[in-house]
Structure 1
Amino acid sequence: MSDGDFTIAIVGLGLIGGSTALALKGFKNCTRLGIDIREDVCKAAMEEDAVDFASTDPSQIIPKADLIIICIYPDPMIAFINDNIKYFKKNVIITDVGGIKEAIVSKMEALLTDDMEFVGGHPMAGREFDGFESADINLFQGAGFLITPSRKSTPSSIALVHEIAKYIGCKRIEEVSPKKHDEIIAYTSHLMHVSAAALCMNPPADMTLTFTAGAFKDCTRIANINGKLWSELFIENKEPVLTEISKFISNIELLKKYIEEEDFDSLKETLDKVRGIKEELLTR
């Protein structure tokens, strides 16, 4: 397939989908098409040159697409494929941007026909605001990108997703199994959102912003959370998430014990160890 003879469809033009569309301008001199359930979003995406054309009607877009990037929630993603599978081109390549992989890969392997390919993708970028109005061409600059091949992947389709990740600005690109992806993401992403939510559940009634500084902002930024999306992610990745929550509770209980017992030496030793772990993590 030559440059200029390549069409990409982005399904869901929110923060990630809109940013992906913007960042893909010029990739293989491709045509960028968009699908969204909202007419106003389709119009805005065309006006902002995120896509060459967008529609709320998948039948207008899918038959033209050589590559489809699905940027919607996990459950609607499977429903979208199932409802529109009759429109997909032969040998189409499908990828996604979702935060869980094992369940999605399993469902996609069962759903797709032999002449359709699927490569899981997960750009490690985002922000606490949703919607196309928050889309940013530079969102992925310097970010990580995880590729989760499936039984429906080929070396060429994996290479294409790798090429796309690099083109949109991602610097650290790794292939990993869907299972390992979900286990590690349960810590690096899901637990972080759980802890941020928990930190905002019982604030002091008389607290004002005068009492806050960087620590409060850093630890609670992602508590501005999309409840529907993150409820899906937590439950779909339940076992790894519960494992990480249990470890987190054990660590909190240990710190609580040292404080209760005024065990300065153990507390300091633990905090010094944590500082070393954090510094080492930043070198990986």
Structure 2
Amino acid sequence: MKKAAVLGTGLIGGSLALCLKERTDMEVHGYDSSAESVRLAEASGVVHRGHTELEPAVEGADVIFLAVPVGSAPGLLEWLAGLPLKPSCIVSDVGSTKGKIVEHAGRLSRLGATFIGGHPMAGSHRSGVQAASSLLFENAYYVLTPIPATPLSEVQKLSRLLEKATRARLVIMDPAHHDRVVGAISHLPHILAAALVNQVADYNASNEWFHRLAAGGFRDLTRVAASDPVMWRDILLSNREAVLDLLEDWTEGMRRIREAVHNSDAGRIEGFFRRAKEAREGLPERRKPGMIPPAHEIYVDVPDIPGEIAGVAHLLGEEGINLRNIGVMENREDRAGVLRLVLNTEEEREKAEKRLKAGGYQVFTSE
């Protein structure tokens, strides 16, 4: 495989192109309808060569990635079907829904290439090619959803390339199963967050204290409601059946807790929260064999003053401890913040806990 074409040079496409460019011997071409995005992709070294015309970008390509919004992917696939692609070419996408695009590709007999659906489950608060990073996918899930008739050798070829380039953890999954799982853990939460924000905004129209007091937990819970509305419109429409089923289940769950509150059923209410607490606490440990191992996490109380996060990172760096992820769970003026630190191994977690406690920090192993 000597040439890769990445169609779409935003955050995901740019990061994927950079992974391929840095970690393989492939010549990486980028395509975007925006001449400015192409210019930035070339200038920042994300691609070897950029194009605003599709045909020269994909000519002779061994692998093509559709790094465009889910609403645009089917049309781009149709466009590719009209071009003379290499017979051995593999085409994949990066969309967060798989059923529609896989079904569309399966019907597209004119496509002279093998289509394998893909979904790198990674992202960033930043956007655009300027935010591209070859570390974006490292240790993240990268789901592949091949058409049933796809030769195993082609799936393996793409898997090996992506494992080498992205350092992600490849998972093969049925498209419908993928869409239900991602619908439940991503699409439904986005709907609920937006609905909650809209409900509070309606209340705030007649009483501004709803927004004045909306901080901390409310902001954390509804953070995803600030996502791109057009993108989420297209995602929900492309995952329509799964989302409708999930909303039915959610509505029934809300009906049951409403009934418990209406009847002052203390036992059912407590059971509702207890089950959620136990399930939430069990998430890291209850992975099936063969899937990504549990995260090794610790939580650290830090005062809300400049330099504290850097101080924690410095202490761990002195011990040669590598952080897989770090997040601020709570950070308010005059209150302690909570850092969530994710380590690669249980040995590193124990070592980090010991070092931070010796440094005077309060460390916890659960939220």
TM over 0.5: yes
Indicate the residue corresponding to 1:104 in structure 2.
Answer: 101
The 8 Å contact of residues 62 and 89 in structure 1, kept in 2 or not, is answered as no
Which residue among 163, 169, 176 is the counterpart of 2:167? 169
State the 1:151 CA deviation: 4.3
Q: What is the match of residue 44 of structure 1?
A: 40
Unaligned runs of 5+ residues in structure 1 are: none
Kept in 1, the 8 Å contact 2:55–2:83? The answer is no
Q: What RMSD over aligned residues (CA atoms) do the two structures have, in Å?
A: 2.0
Equivalent residue letter for 1:8 = A
Deviates more, 1:146-155 or 1:66-75: 146-155
Secondary structure, aligned partner of 1:230: helix
Which residue does the alignment assign to 2:233?
231
2:223 to 221, 224, 236: 221
CA contact (8 A) 1:109 1:152 kept: no
Amino acid paired to 2:273: L
Partner of 1:11: 7
* 1:152/1:94 CA distance change after superposition, 3 Å: farther
**Ranges of 4+ aligned residues in structure 1 off by more than 3 Å:** 112-115, 127-130, 207-211
* Superposition deviation, residue 134 in structure 1: 3.3
Q: Look up the match of 1:247.
A: 249
5 Å-filtered alignment, 1:61-100, equals: 61-84=57-80, 85-100=82-97
Q: SS where residue 29 of structure 1 aligns?
A: coil
Greater C-alpha radius of gyration:
2
Aligned to 2:270: 268
Ranked by relative contact order (alpha carbons within 8 Å, sequence separation 6 or more), the top structure is 1
Do the aligned partners of residues 13 and 256 (structure 1) sit closer, same or farther apart at CA in structure 2, a change above 3 Å counting? same
How far apart, CA to CA, are the structure 2 residues paired with 1:7 and 1:249? 49
TM-score w.r.t. the length of structure 2 is 0.70
Q: Is the 8 A contact 1:128 1:222 kept in 2?
A: no
Distance 1:159 1:201 in 2: 45
- Deviation digits for residues 76-116 of structure 1 (CA, Å, limit 9, x no counterpart): 22222222432422221101111121221111122144741
Contact kept, 8 Å, 1:32 with 1:53, in 2: the verdict is yes
Matched positions, count? 278
C-alpha offsets along residues 113-154 of structure 1, whole Å, 9 cap, x if unaligned? 474111111111123544223333322122111111114622
TM-score (norm 1): 0.90
Name the SS of the counterpart of 2:142 in structure 1: strand
